[in-house]
């Protein structure tokens, strides 16, 4: 019977050291320092970075954003996408190899695996051996460490959406709410599954970036390349042997580049979509070249054009400034400047006006028509503010309620506002009016449209 499904062979990546490995670990440390550390930072009396979904307020250091500021989130997403286009066109999948959470957590999990089960050959032996106390202890130790990291990651993730100190206290007192528990477990489980078990399969089959990156690549994009002209014909030989006399290239066919590859590919077969540009194969091949006293760089970061035409660094660098890169840079620069300008110039408070549906319009004493509104005033600054409310748009329109509202720092407040108009001042129907809300110190002003109803 022919099976339509081919089971994945488990990959046992060998650990590697070298220049790019150090860069990868530097990125692991940097990204994780930011991810795990940021929610514990304080800004004044509150958490510096907090996306408080309950209160519908986002705090990013001195910035207080409301749902009405959603446009900035859109701007950040557009900038991220453009940056990805630009960096991919220039440097290929560097994001995948050094900073993508999938790579970063897989690196951490592989390190814990090596700590408990040993390097590649020891792991291969352990998996092939029958169950024993030693095997059980090593396997259990690994799972416990993986679970601890996963749960801590889930906890930290939730700490961006609910104050992390309170979350920590409720965790210690076993009093976490059902939603918080669900999301800690959900995100923790995703980390555990993706970094512990699925690993390269996420990059190969689940990540959309791997699929559409080819549209952003060209022959001048930096990729990890094997110099076939120099390496072939490959073959083993002694260190002292002269490869020319043996009619061999520089590749000693040690397969170490395949053994260190986290996605299990052989870079000597050429550029493949599974390659995440992690450069582990460069590091290991350089050590082989050193041992053989051959020049380094049989596998190296280069471009297809550079390898095919033997270009030097200077020419490769010049090709970075090609039209598509310049266009991406110009658009990215314009959108980034636009976002920062609009953030710098934005009004430090927002107002929503809602008509009171319980009493659309009524006649009150003195022959006046009265309309009632509810105003939500949102203070987006870090200090308490007072605002003056006025309305205009119809002759004789007056404010019949409190004309001043005080709002605490980074808080919002609902106030009922009553407007009155002499009965004969306008014809029956709906009339456009404006509310003007101004900071008491006249530093900012917001105008909101509404309508005044006059019954027949
Ligand atoms: S590590 Fe280098 S020398 Fe060894 S097989 Fe790979 S390309 Fe050849
Ligand atoms: S081929 Fe090299 S750079 Fe690509 S994923 Fe494998 S080890 Fe990393």
Burial readout 415-428 (b: 16 or more C-beta within 10 A, e: otherwise) = bebbbbbeeebbee
Residue 4 lies in a domain: no
Residue 344 lies in a domain: no
Q: For residue 423, what is the domain's CATH number?
A: 2.60.40.10
Task: Tell me how many domains the chain contains.
Answer: 3
Residue 367 lies in a domain: yes
Does the beta carbon of 203 sit less than 6 angstroms from any atom of ligand 2?
no
3-state secondary structure of 400: coil
Same domain for 244 and 200: no
CA-based Rg of the chain, rounded to a whole angstrom? 32
Instruction: Compute the distance from residue 253 Cα to the ligand 1 centre, in Å.
Output: 5
pLDDT value of position 56: 85
Same domain for 234 and 159: no
Contact by Cβ (8 Å): 11, 262:
yes
Note down pLDDT in tens along the chain; length 456 residues: 666 666 678 899 999 999 999 999 999 999 999 999 999 999 888 899 999 988 888 999 988 888 888 888 899 999 999 998 899 999 988 889 999 999 999 999 999 999 999 999 999 999 999 999 999 999 999 999 999 999 999 999 999 999 999 999 999 998 888 999 999 999 999 999 999 998 888 888 888 887 777 778 889 999 999 999 999 999 999 999 999 999 999 999 999 999 999 999 999 998 888 899 999 999 999 999 999 999 999 999 999 999 888 888 889 899 999 999 999 999 999 999 999 999 888 888 999 999 877 777 888 888 899 999 999 999 988 889 999 999 999 999 999 999 999 999 888 999 999 999 998 888 999 999 999 999 998 889 999 999 999 987
Tell whether omega for the bond before 353 is within 30 degrees of 0, i.e. cis: no
Same domain for 149 and 74: yes
Residue 303 belongs to domain spanning: 223-309
pLDDT value of position 1: 64
Residue 91 lies in a domain: yes
DSSP 142: H
Does the beta carbon of 375 sit less than 6 angstroms from any atom of ligand 2?
no
Alpha helix ranges (H) inside 194-321: 200-201, 208-212, 228-231, 256-259, 280-292, 304-309, 313-318
pTM (2 d.p.): 0.83
pLDDT value of position 17: 94
Same domain for 376 and 267: no
Residue 10 lies in a domain: no
Pocket test for ligand 1, best of 20, 225, 252 (most atoms within 8 A of CB): 252
Contact by Cβ (8 Å): 88, 221:
yes
Residue 134 lies in a domain: yes
CA distance linking residue 304 with residue 310, whole number of Å: 10
Residue 12 lies in a domain: no
Contact by Cβ (8 Å): 400, 373:
no
pLDDT value of position 29: 96
Same domain for 250 and 139: no
Does the beta carbon of 267 sit less than 6 angstroms from any atom of ligand 2?
yes
Same domain for 174 and 138: yes
Same domain for 149 and 46: yes
Same domain for 237 and 199: no
Instruction: Compute the distance from residue 350 Cα to the ligand 2 centre, in Å.
Output: 50
Same domain for 363 and 290: no
Contact by Cβ (8 Å): 406, 424:
no
- 399, containing H or E segment: strand 398-399
Pocket test for ligand 1, best of 14, 18, 231 (most atoms within 8 A of CB): 231
Instruction: Compute the distance from residue 292 Cα to the ligand 1 centre, in Å.
Output: 11
- 407, containing H or E segment: strand 404-407
Contact by Cβ (8 Å): 251, 231:
yes
Residue 319 lies in a domain: no
Which of 157, 183, 215 lies at the terminal end of a domain, its last residue?
215
Which of 168, 189, 215 lies at the terminal end of a domain, its last residue?
215
**Strands 398-399, 404-407: parallel, antiparallel or unpaired by DSSP?**
unpaired
Question: Which has the closest alpha carbon to 352: 447, 440, 443, 453?
Answer: 447
Instruction: Compute the distance from residue 78 Cα to the ligand 2 centre, in Å.
Output: 29
CA distance linking residue 115 with residue 131, whole number of Å: 19
CA distance linking residue 292 with residue 287, whole number of Å: 9
Pocket lining for ligand 1, CB < 6 angstroms: 226, 231, 234, 251-257, 268, 284-285, 288, 298-299
Same domain for 368 and 436: yes
Does the beta carbon of 279 sit less than 6 angstroms from any atom of ligand 2?
yes
Neighbours of 107 (CB within 10 A): 20
Pocket test for ligand 2, best of 95, 210, 223, 261 (most atoms within 8 A of CB): 261
Same domain for 305 and 188: no
Handedness of CA 17, 22, 23, 27 (dihedral sign): positive
Which of 168, 191, 215 lies at the terminal end of a domain, its last residue?
215
Same domain for 106 and 227: no
Residues for the chain: how many in total?
Answer: 456
């Amino acid at each position: 019977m022919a099976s339509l499904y081919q089971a994945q062979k488990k990959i046992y990546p060998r650990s590697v050291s070298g220049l790019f490995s150090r860069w990868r670990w530097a990125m692991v440390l940097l990204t994780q320092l930011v991810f795990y550390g940021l929610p514990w930072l304080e800004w004044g009396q509150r958490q510096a970075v907090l996306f408080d979904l309950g209160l519908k307020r986002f705090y990013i250091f001195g910035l207080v954003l409301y749902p009405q500021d959603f446009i900035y989130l859109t701007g950040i997403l557009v900038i991220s996408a453009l940056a990805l286009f630009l960096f991919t066109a220039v440097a290929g999948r560097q994001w995948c190899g050094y900073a993508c959470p999938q790579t970063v957590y897989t690196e951490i999990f592989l390190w814990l695996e090596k700590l408990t089960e040993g390097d590649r050959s020891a792991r291969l032996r352990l998996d092939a051996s029958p169950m024993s106390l030693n095997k059980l202890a090593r396997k259990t130790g690994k799972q416990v460490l993986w679970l601890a990291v996963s749960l801590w990651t889930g906890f930290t993730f939730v700490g961006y959406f609910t104050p992390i100190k309170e979350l920590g206290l409720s965790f210690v007192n076993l009093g976490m709410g059902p939603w918080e528990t669900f999301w800690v477990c959900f995100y923790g489980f995703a980390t555990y599954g993706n970094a512990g078990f699925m690993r390269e399969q996420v990059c190969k089959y689940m990540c959309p970036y791997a699929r559409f990156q080819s549209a952003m690549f060209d022959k001048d994009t930096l990729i990890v390349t094997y110099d076939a002209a120099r390496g072939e014909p490959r073959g083993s030989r002694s260190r002292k042997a002269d490869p020319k006399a043996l009619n061999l290239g520089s590749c000693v066919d040690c397969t170490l580049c395949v053994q260190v590859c986290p996605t299990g590919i052989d870079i000597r077969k050429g550029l493949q979509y599974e390659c995440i540009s992690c450069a582990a194969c460069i590091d290991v091949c350089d050590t082989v070249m050193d041992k053989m006293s051959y020049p380094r760089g049989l596998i190296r970061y280069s471009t297809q054009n550079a390898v095919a035409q033997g270009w030097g660094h200077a020419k490769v660098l010049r090709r970075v400034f090609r039209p598509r890169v310049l266009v991406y840079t110009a658009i990215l620069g314009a959108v980034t400047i636009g976002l920062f300008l609009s953030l710098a110039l934005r009004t430090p408070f927002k107002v929503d006006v809602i008509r009171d549906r319980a009493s659309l319009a009524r006649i009150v004493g003195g022959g006046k028509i009265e309309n009632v509104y509810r105003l939500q005033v949102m203070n987006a600054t870090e200090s308490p503010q007072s605002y003056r409310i006025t309305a205009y748009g119809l002759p004789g329109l007056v404010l019949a309620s409190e004309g001043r509202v005080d709002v605490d720092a980074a808080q919002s407040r609902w106030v009922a506002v009553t407007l009155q108009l002499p009965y004969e001042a306008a014809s029956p129907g709906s009339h456009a009016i404006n509310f003007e809300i101004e900071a008491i110190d006249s530093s900012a002003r917001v105008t909101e449209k509404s309508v005044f109803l006059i019954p027949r």
